[in-house]
Structure 1
Amino acid sequence: MVRFRVSATKHLDIETLRIGIFNYILSKKLDKPLLISIDDTDKQNNIENIEKEILELLNLFSIDHERVVYQSENLKYHQKIIMQLMAKKEAYSCFCSEEKLNELKEEAKKANKPIRYDGFCSTLSDETVLNCNAPFTVRIKEPDSKVTINDLLKGEISYQPYEIDSYIALAHDKMPKKVYASAIDDMLYNISTVVSNDGESINAARETYTRALLSYDTKIDYLHLPEISNNKSLNNVKWFIDEGYLPSAIANYLVSISLKDENKVFSLEDIIKSFDVKNIINNNIVFDIDELKKINKKHIELMDNLRLSKILSYADADIGNLAKLFLTEVSTIKELKEKITLIFQTKEENSTLKDGILELKSCMNKAPFFNNFNELKKYIENNTSLKENEIEKIITYLVLGNENGPDMNNIYPLIKNYIGEIIK
């Protein structure tokens, strides 16, 4: 089973979505079910109902999964197993305050050394621990030798004991921290493969070490993707959807920037067929929203006209075709909807065209139906004092809300059935 973990303390962001997409791709490639694990043990910082929003967004991206589990559901196992480790002296109570831990961090920074716990509480006697009434966390004891994980992209990666550190497994409220919870849950659910990013590699080693302490020797393969280097500047996934980026285009872009020489337009189904771990790039990625816009535009161009019109709140293939005429100017569904909505709205008064507009509207109220724009122009020219160039300028304004835009000869055949409603 392939495991994808999301946090209940934050909205789904672009980096996490990318990881989810690759978990999905790999699960399909390996023909293994996908499990979504909700990290919800940080009760104080959890966002109410965030898991519902996350799952709905994942569904938009067609990320099918067999099961959703919550880390908090396994609390009794987490606590039972940590007691076993404490009995074996592989874990211990830590009474150090936040102030003390912050001092260690500052000292490490000043000395330009890795931040790690000094192990003070690991030396406390059982009697001292028993007689101490201060709140405590529970730490996993630092390993005695290096810990090695298997990365499908980078091969074997080893970490020294000081890098693994004596990490916190249970917080002061005795709720498990995400690394410890994941280590235990991956055993419970028989996880075989995990996709994450490079920043989680050290945590994969901690999870592997924790399971080894429990004599769990089933191998778990990891795939750590290079991180998006400017990820902090990105808005969450819901923002992109609300701004009119198609899920298919977002997925296309996030996969393409992660693979070597993969910049064409494709669907997830396409990439699953050709996917090879060796094709993943091994250096950090820069998110370029202009490139996303180009791919989004391509996906809109390829969309069925009727489907596009329904997304724009219509049910007419001609409206979908009409919207595509504006892709020379805009690149998102939101922008296209603004263009189409404006066509059907009453336009602001134009002082320079005012007299011509009144004359043209009067003529149009009496005009028969015309299939051809040139025939309509000829009729208006014969029944008003307006010249041909004036007629086209006025109609363009009454349709688009400005005097410039796509050629009216291309627009008219798509709105001819609505022309009386538009020019009223």
Structure 2
Amino acid sequence: MLRIAPSPTGDMHIGHLRVALFNYICAVQREEPLLIRIEDTDKERFIPGKEKEIFDILALFGIEYQEQQLQSNNLRFHRAMALQLLQDKKAFNCFCPPETLEAKREAAKAARTAYRYDGACENLPAEAVIDNENPFTIRLKKPSEPITVKDIIKGESTFEPDEIDSFILMRADKYPTYNFACAVDDMLADISLIIRGEDHLSDTPKQIAIHRALGYTKTIEYAHLPVILNDEGKETSGHDEASSVKWLLEEGYLPEAISNYLILMGNKTPTEIFTLKEAIKWFDLRTLSKAPVRFDMDKLKFINREHLKGLDPKELSRYVGFADEEIGNLAKVFLDEAVTLKELRGKIGAVFAPKIVPDEYKEGFDVLRDLTLKAPHFDDFEAYSNYLAEHSGLQGENFFKPLRILISGSENGPELADLYRYLKNYIKEVAK
């Protein structure tokens, strides 16, 4: 089984979506089930409604799963296994007050050395193992030997015991830390491959140490994806608007285009434009770059335009607020100057909205509009424009500028003949 483990603490990030896509692809390729585990144990950062938003986005991107789970439902297992580690003397209670630990961290910082827990509580007498009077955390005993992580993308990384340290498993509030909950949950779900961002690489040896302490011997495969950088070359974060999947969708980027780009970034693919279904046939984690990848909005715009071009006209018409194949074709005419659904809606909206006309063209515009409302139906633009020219007496710019505004709502844009081809049945509505 593979898993996607999002937290309902904010908008889904493009890095999280990339992880979800790769897990889904690999689950399908390996013919293994996919689990969605909502990591909801961080009560302070939990945002109501984000859980549903996560599932809605996964559905929108065609990511299918077989099981779903709330991490909080495993709390009884987290607590039971922590007690088991205490009894097996593989973990210990730590009564160090937070202010004492903070002072030691500051001292290490001042000495320019990495802070490591000093083992102050590791060898307390047996009666201190269970203490309900004083607040305490539960720490795992530091491993006695290095732990090597074998990664499909990054190769091998070895972590010394001091790097892993005697880290906390259970906080004083009796809730698990991220690493302990994650390790236990993955063990319970019998996870075979973990694909996640490289910011979790330092977590992996800790989770392996937990598995070993609990006697879990199954070998889990790992793949840590390189970070995504913004245009400034810095790691994308929640403060970058463009890194929010929700924002990208609201701006009018198609799910298919976003998926295409996230799979393409830092990857060797047989073609540049493809669907998720097509990617399943050839995707390979081993072809991914080990280096960070830059999120290029211009590249996403190009890919989005290509996917818009490939849409069925009737489907595209629905995206811009109609249900007519001709309006879908009209939208495609605007793709030379519009790259998102939001921009296309603006272009189509301007065609049907009341027109804003510069004073210099107002008189000619009124004449052409009145003629259009009274004119018979014309199948081609040449016949329509000849009729207007003949009956209006307008010529040159005084004719074509107000005519362009009448048809498109703008002084510039695609060829009027291309627009009229798909607007001829709407022309009187456009002129109102």
CA distance in 2, matches of 1:262, 1:141: 48
Change (3 A) 1:132 1:51: closer
Q: What pairs up with 1:70-89 in 2 under 5 angstroms?
A: 70-89=70-89
Q: 1:253 aligns with which of 239, 246, 261?
A: 261
Show CA shifts across 1:373-400 (max 9, x none): 1111111122122125433221211222
**Inter-partner Cα distance in structure 1 for 2:98 and 2:107:** 14
Amino acid across the alignment from 1:36 = I
What letter is aligned with 2:236? N
Aligned to 2:40: 40
CA RMSD of aligned residues (A): 1.8
Question: Per-residue CA shift, 1:160-186, capped at 9, x if unaligned?
Answer: 111111121112211112211111111
Q: 2:426 matched to which residue of 1?
A: 418
Q: Do the aligned partners of residues 399 and 105 (structure 1) sit closer, same or farther apart at CA in structure 2, a change above 3 Å counting?
A: farther
List per-residue Cα deviations over 1:265-324 (Å, max 9, x = no partner): 111111111122221111111111111111111111111111111111111111111112
Q: Distance in 1 between matches of 2:308 and 2:113?
A: 51
Kept in 1, the 8 Å contact 2:92–2:129? The answer is: no
Shift of 1:199: 1.4
Is 1:325 matched with 2:330?
A: no
Tell me how far apart the structure 2 counterparts of residues 355 and 8 of structure 1 sit (CA, whole Å). 58
Change (3 A) 1:137 1:262: farther
What is the aligned partner in structure 1 of residue 122 from structure 2?
122
- Once the two structures are TM-superposed, the CA of residue 148 in structure 1 deviates from its matched residue by 2.3
Contact 2:350 2:410 in 1 (8 A): no
Asked if 2 retains the 8 angstrom alpha-carbon contact of 1:243 and 1:332, the reply is yes
Instruction: State the shift of 1:128 in Å.
Output: 4.8
Could you tell me whether the CA contact under 8 Å between 2:93 and 2:128 is conserved in 1?
no
C-alpha deviation, 1:107, in angstroms: 3.3
Partner of 1:390: 398
1:399 aligns with 2:407: yes
1:231 to 236, 240, 248: 236
Please state if 1:309 is matched with 2:313. no
Contact 2:327 2:422 in 1 (8 A): yes
Decide whether the 8 Å contact of 2:90 with 2:141 is kept in 1.
yes
Unaligned runs of 5+ in 1: none
Counting matched residue pairs gives 424
Summarize deviations over 1:101-132 as a string: whole Å, max 9, x none.
33333333344433432222223323456668
> In structure 2, what is the equivalent of residue 289 of structure 1?
297
Look up the match of 1:277.
285
How many angstroms apart in 2 are the aligned matches of 1:411 and 1:402? 12
Deviations 1:213-264, CA, capped at 9 Å, x for gaps:
1111011111111111321234321111111111111111111113136670
Equivalent pair of 1:256/1:263 in contact (CA under 8 Å): no
User: 2:152: which partner in 1?
Assistant: 152
Q: TM-score, normalised by structure 1?
A: 0.95
Is residue 91–residue 139 contact of structure 1 (8 Å, CA) maintained in 2? yes
Structure 1 residues 260, 104: CA separation in 2 closer, same or farther (over 3 Å shift)? farther
The correspondence of residues 12-411 of structure 1 with structure 2, limited to 5 A, is 12-128=12-128, 133-229=133-229, 230-232=235-237, 233=240, 234-260=242-268, 264-387=272-395, 389-411=397-419
Q: Is the 8 A contact 1:256 1:262 kept in 2?
A: no
**Comparing 246-255 and 147-156, the one that deviates more:** 147-156
Name the structure 1 match of 2:232.
Answer: none
Residue 157 of structure 1 and its aligned partner are, at CA, apart by 2.8
Q: 1:261 to 1:190 in 2, by over 3 A?
A: closer
Contact 2:136 2:172 in 1 (8 A): yes
For the Cα contact (< 8 Å) 1:377–1:391, is it kept in 2? no
Residue type of the partner of 1:224? H
Residue 139 of structure 1: SS of its match in structure 2?
A: strand
- Aligned-residue sequence identity (percent) comes to 39
TM-score (norm 2): 0.94
Per the alignment, in what secondary structure is the counterpart of residue 174 of structure 2? Answer: coil
Q: Output the CA distance in 2 between the equivalents of 1:137 and 1:271.
A: 46
**Helix, strand or coil at the partner of 1:365:** helix
SS in 2 for 1:194: strand
Of 407-416 and 393-402, more deviation after overlay is shown by 393-402
**Contiguous gaps of at least 5 residues in structure 2:** 230-234
Secondary structure of the 1:148 match is: strand
Structure 2 Cα separation of the partners of residues 386 and 257 of structure 1: 54
Please name the residue that 2:10 is paired with: 10
Is the CA contact (8 Å cut-off) linking 2:389 and 2:395 kept in structure 1? yes
For residues 314-373 of structure 1, give each alpha carbon's deviation from its aligned partner in whole angstroms, at most 9, with x where no partner exists.
111111111122222121111111111111111124311111112212222221000111
**Whole-Å separation in 2 of the counterparts to 1:263 and 1:231:** 26
The amino acid that maps onto 1:327 is: L
Other structure's SS at 2:194 match: strand
Q: Secondary structure at the match of 1:121?
A: coil
Residues 349/393 of structure 1: CA separation in 2 closer, same or farther (3 Å cut): closer
